[in-house]
Chains A and B, each alone.
Chain A
Amino acid sequence: MSAPLSGLSIESDTGIEVSLPVAGPGARAYAFLIDWHARLILGVAWFVIAAVLYNGRLSLTTSLTHDPLWFGAVVMPALAIYFLYHPVLEVAMHGRTPGKRSVGIRVVTRAGGPPGAGALLVRNVFRLIDSLPVAYGVGLTLMVLTKDSLRCGDMAAGTLLVYERPAADPALLQSAAQRVGVLDAAGAEIVADLLQRWTSLVPEARVRLARKLLQRYLGSAADLSEADELQWRARLERLAPP
């Protein structure tokens, strides 16, 4: 859990201001690398499969380089996958791509809303400038130099990338609510979380984390004697009974 992150502030009529954490060059570059590999693999896969089907044997070349079928069914779709990946997916996935989704970031307007198709197309057109001279040199330099990590396309389209925090499990929050008592609300959340993830952890981790929590909340009164993991779980349950 972290303190409120600085980032894009959204004001509202209710007087509550929300801050969306802005994604920096690292997260953006990581998402881009995932997307770059995805579009490269998809484009090459199309080319290989279509070339093999076209040739009727395991060959990736043709003697008829000006054959419209070769050009239209093998070369062009592969290039289209590679070059139209970002604009098409960003429009279809509301400012996300598979890479952005896996890193947990998305494109938003400066007002925090989803950008329109026009804005998404403009930010993608400017990849031409951002990718100069090589390896997104202009884009990366601008991202490092600007406050909200903007590349040229973002400046043009009025967009930026923000983190999407992983959604907390409401069941976990309700379970934590029942455990507030001996523990404060934050501690109850942690205990509820550990108990929920208990079976997914290796036995050593279960005991280590349970020991830490008991030590933190009970101090010297904690029973830290050797026991099996079921007993450690029981001690945790007693610490914060639902």
Chain B
Amino acid sequence: MGAPASTRNQALAAALLRRAGSWQQADARAVRLARGRTDDATDAARLADDYRLLAHDLAQARVLLPASRAREYLENVYARTHATLYHGAFRLGSELRRLFGVEIPAAIRALAPYIFWATLLFVLAACAGYALVRRYPELIALFASPALIATVESGKLWTQGLLNVVPSSILSVQILTNNIIVSLFAYCLGFLFGLGTLYILGINGLMLGAIFAFVGEHGLAGQLFSFLVPHGCVELSVICLSGAAGAAIGDALMRPGAAGRLESFRVAAMRSGVVLLACAILLVGAGLIEGYISPNPRFSLPVRIVTGVGYWCLMVAFLSGRLFAQTRREPRSAS
């Protein structure tokens, strides 16, 4: 006959509790590895042993000590060890490299059809705005403020002398903040089954076309083009990009597929959301150009075109991941 079950269980529980020190060591190791504070291979190898040991002890604790601190502590340590083992270390540098070098280019590739349709919608809206104001000039009152209309009717662009009123630095920050907010809204309003995004793209396109038609009527289209080209190439592209990201969310909500609406939304938002970070960074650059170069009459048209096209090419390199591509050195073969 062995010992009574209760005595045996108490002895087992006591033996289990005496292992608390090793649980603490395992926890410290898991935290160290998760935060990337150690690259020690022995530490990493021991984590796998810790994991098995903790699983064994936790299974015992659930039977022997179901309502105890020891079980709660073990549950926590086991979950942390599991996360470290299966998800690896969190290193800010490598996280950001992966974000810019892998995740953003992959998101752009996945969004390609949406970028096409968002751009097409924007262009069509711009054409519609242009045609409307050309045909019915009084409709400009729907798209522009009375002050802007009065300035253009007096033969000047509202951008002339802008730097005499607001310094470039402040102008840049105001513009880039405004653009980032528009971009974020174009993305987030995809949550409304894509309708919010479509409205933002449509309204921005209509406004652009309408204002071009209006200034063209007054012989100022060339000046407006000269003002827009340095920053506009990227700024308008970014609006289309964030619109495409929002449209992808809307599409995921409208046509969720087999995975279900919530999961489909999550996948679409995660895939396209990282593009927003790229958009914000690009808009900072566009804002600086719009504050320092666009309103400054000292810059000639060729310089403006080179700036605009150059920044646009940089944007393409950035979004395609080429800017952050790591060159892999092939080992030389012995000849």
The residues of A with any CB-CB pair to B shorter than 8 Å are 1-4, 10, 12, 14-16, 18-20, 66-68, 71-72, 76, 91-92, 94, 108-109, 111-114, 116-119, 121-122, 125-126, 128-129, 152, 155-158, 164-165, 167-168, 170-174, 176-178, 180-181, 184-186, 188-189, 193
Contacts and interface: CB of A to CB of B under 8 A. Distances in A.
13 contacts: A1-B72, A3-B67, A14-B55, A71-B173, A94-B90, A117-B92, A117-B99, A126-B269, A128-B188, A129-B189, A174-B17, A174-B21, A176-B70
Given A18-B75, A121-B277, A185-B14, A170 B20 contact: yes
B82 A125 contact: no
Interface string B166-191: 11011001000000000011011101
A180 B79 contact: no
A4 B58 CA distance: 12
B191 A129 contact: yes
A118 B103 contact: yes
Contacts of B276: 121-122, 125
B273 interface: yes
A92 B92 contact: yes
B266 A158 contact: yes
A1 B67 contact: yes
B73 A167 contact: yes
A14 B75 contact: no
A190 B24 CA distance: 20
B78 A72 contact: no
B185 A173 contact: no
A14 to B, nearest CB: 4
Contact of A185 (B17, B92, B98, B270): B17
A76 B173 CA distance: 9
A155 B262 contact: yes
Contacts of B55: 12, 14-16
Given A66-B167, A112-B82, A186-B68, A118 B99 contact: yes
Interface of B: 10-11, 13-18, 20-21, 23-24, 27, 34-35, 51-52, 55, 58-59, 64-73, 75-76, 78-79, 82-83, 86-87, 90, 92, 95-96, 98-99, 103, 165-167, 169-170, 173, 184-185, 187-189, 191, 249, 262, 265-266, 269-270, 273-274, 276-277
A76 to B, nearest CB: 6
B82 A157 contact: no
B170 A125 contact: no
Contact of A10 (B16, B27, B82, B90): B82
A118 B270 contact: yes
B35 A111 contact: no
A16 B78 contact: yes
Residue from the set A10, A125, A128, A178 with the largest chain B CB neighbour count within 10 Å: A125
Contacts of A109: 87
A125 B79 contact: no
Contacts of B273: 118, 121-122, 125, 156-157
B17 A176 contact: yes
Contacts of A172: 69
Contacts of B95: 91, 116-117
Contact of A112 (B83, B188, B265): B83
Contacts of B58: 16, 18
Contact of A186 (B65, B165, B269, B274): B65
B170 A71 contact: yes
Contact of B188 (A10, A125, A176): A125
Nearest to A120: B95
